[in-house]
């Protein structure tokens, strides 16, 4: 993994309706993220936070997509910031913020790769569109948007579409999928490891297969990790918790195996909401997982 890291915070809560997730980047920094990476020998450059428009000023008209204009504006800023980090030959580590930020992250990352692979570590598929979403919350749409499916202005963030191909995506930890998402997964042949597969096969086998799958024919791999992929007992500070999730130890193993594989070229950790948390537990978990992802060992 690139020993030069560029951190970019995205304090955005526009992609959903539960306030507080905009404090996620600060919570992860407060939990010792930068010091942890520096202790592992990384040269860390913190680029601060992307400017996010105020919620009260971005209400979108003539669409059921909530805060559409604000998400578009923030996504463009984020894509530009991620692009600059990569051009500076640094590994982009993006801190969220709700999962709609992945629209901007992938727009900034994918332009540097001909065939980007994506590992989507999440309880949800985030494959909804305005037509299939029960809520209109854009944090349930970033993977669909990145596939070139959904609202035209969201798809064209960064000036091109699609950002990823369905055969280069692996979803890990899914246990809450809407009907439209299930149809899209079947239609596009997207690889999904639900909690059933994790329970049945074990995390080691799941990660071995996922790493092999997402490495096949790709020239870079992005990790998008939603903290609600973990069980709420391990990560309570998330906006859309779903019972029966991945354990803390299984998640560490997954990050350790990704580090050993040397395939990752970018990553983001999202949906840390301190307002819903217990003594910054979820941010602390996120930073611990980032430590494993960047090579932290017990011995």
Q: Is 47 a catalytic residue?
A: no
Q: Is 124 a catalytic residue?
A: yes
Q: Give, in order, the Cα–Cα distances in Å from 298 to each of 112, 211, 288.
A: 34, 23, 12
Residue 189 is predicted with a pLDDT of 98
Which residue, 3, 140, 158, 143, is CA-closest to 66? 140
Residue 53 is predicted with a pLDDT of 87
By residue count, the chain amounts to 299
Contact 210, 254 (CB under 8 A): no
**Cis status, amide bond into 97, omega within 30 of 0:** yes
Catalytic one of 22, 49, 73, 139: 139
Quick one: residue 26, left, alpha or beta (phi over 0 = left, psi -120 to 50 = alpha)? alpha
Catalytic one of 122, 234, 256, 268: 122
Residue 64 is predicted with a pLDDT of 85
Residue 125 is predicted with a pLDDT of 98
Per-residue pLDDT of the chain (299 residues; tens, 9 = 90+): 789 999 999 999 999 988 999 999 999 999 999 999 999 999 999 999 999 988 755 555 667 899 998 999 999 999 999 999 999 999 999 999 999 999 999 999 999 999 999 999 999 999 999 999 999 999 999 999 999 999 999 999 999 999 999 999 999 999 999 999 999 999 999 999 999 999 999 999 999 999 999 999 999 999 999 999 999 999 999 999 999 999 999 999 999 999 999 999 999 999 999 999 999 999 999 999 999 999 999 88
Considering the entire predicted model, what is its pTM? 0.97
DSSP annotation of 17: S
Edge-to-edge strands, sheet with 91-96: 43-49, 4-10, 91-96, 264-270, 220-226, 116-121, 169-174, 191-194
Residue 210 is predicted with a pLDDT of 98
CA atoms within 13 A on the CB side of 86: 21
Q: Is 271 a catalytic residue?
A: yes
Strand partners, 124: 176
Catalytic one of 13, 22, 99, 222: 99
Catalytic one of 49, 73, 181, 226: 226
CATH pick for 4-293 out of 3.40.50.150, 3.40.800.10, 3.30.1370.60, 3.40.50.12160:
3.40.800.10
Can you say how many angstroms the Cα of residue 64 is from the centroid of all Cα atoms in its chain? 23
Catalytic one of 126, 181, 256, 296: 126
Contact 121, 222 (CB under 8 A): no
**Domain ranges for the chain:** 4-293
Q: Is 279 exposed, middle or buried (0-12, 13-18, 19+ CB in 10 A)?
A: exposed
Q: Is 226 a catalytic residue?
A: yes
Helix (H) or strand (E) holding 29: helix 24-30
Helix/strand/coil (H/E/C) assignment for every residue in 127-150: CCCCCCCCCCCHHHCHHHHHCCCC
Catalytic one of 73, 124, 234, 296: 124
Catalytic one of 228, 231, 234, 250: 228
Q: Is 139 a catalytic residue?
A: yes
DSSP annotation of 180: H
Q: Is 126 a catalytic residue?
A: yes
Residue 62 is predicted with a pLDDT of 63
């Amino acid at each position: 993994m690139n020993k030069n890291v560029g951190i970019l915070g995205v304090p955005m809560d526009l992609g959903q309706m539960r306030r507080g997730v905009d404090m996620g980047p600060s919570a992860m920094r407060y939990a010792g993220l930068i010091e942890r990476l520096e202790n592992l020998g990384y040269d860390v450059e913190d680029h601060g936070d992307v400017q996010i428009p105020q919620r009260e000023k971005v209400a979108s008209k003539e669409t059921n997509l909530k805060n559409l204009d604000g998400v578009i504006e923030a996504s463009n800023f984020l894509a530009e910031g991620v692009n600059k980090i990569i051009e500076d030959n640094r590994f982009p580590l993006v801190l969220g913020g709700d999962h709609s930020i992945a629209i901007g992250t992938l727009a900034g990352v994918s332009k540097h790769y001909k065939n980007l692979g994506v590992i989507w570590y999440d309880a949800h598929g985030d494959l909804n569109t305005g037509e299939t979403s029960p809520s209109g919350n854009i944090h349930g749409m970033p993977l669909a948007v990145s596939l070139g499916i959904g609202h035209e202005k969201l798809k064209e963030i960064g000036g091109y579409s699609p950002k990823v191909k369905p055969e280069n995506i692996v979803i890990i930890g899914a246990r809450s999928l809407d009907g439209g998402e299930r149809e899209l997964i079947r239609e596009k042949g997207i690889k999904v490891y639900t909690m059933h597969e994790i329970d049945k096969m074990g995390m080691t086998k799941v990660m071995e297969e996922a790493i092999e799958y997402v490495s096949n024919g790709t020239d870079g791999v992005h990790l998008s990790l939603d903290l609600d992929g973990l069980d709420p007992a391990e990560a309570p500070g998330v906006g859309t918790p779903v019972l029966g999730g991945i354990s803390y130890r299984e998640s560490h193993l997954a990050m350790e195996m990704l580090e050993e594989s040397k395939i990752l070229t970018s990553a983001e950790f999202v949906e840390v909401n301190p307002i819903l948390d217990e003594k910054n537990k979820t941010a602390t978990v996120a930073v611990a997982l980032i430590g494993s992802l960047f090579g932290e060992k017990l011995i």
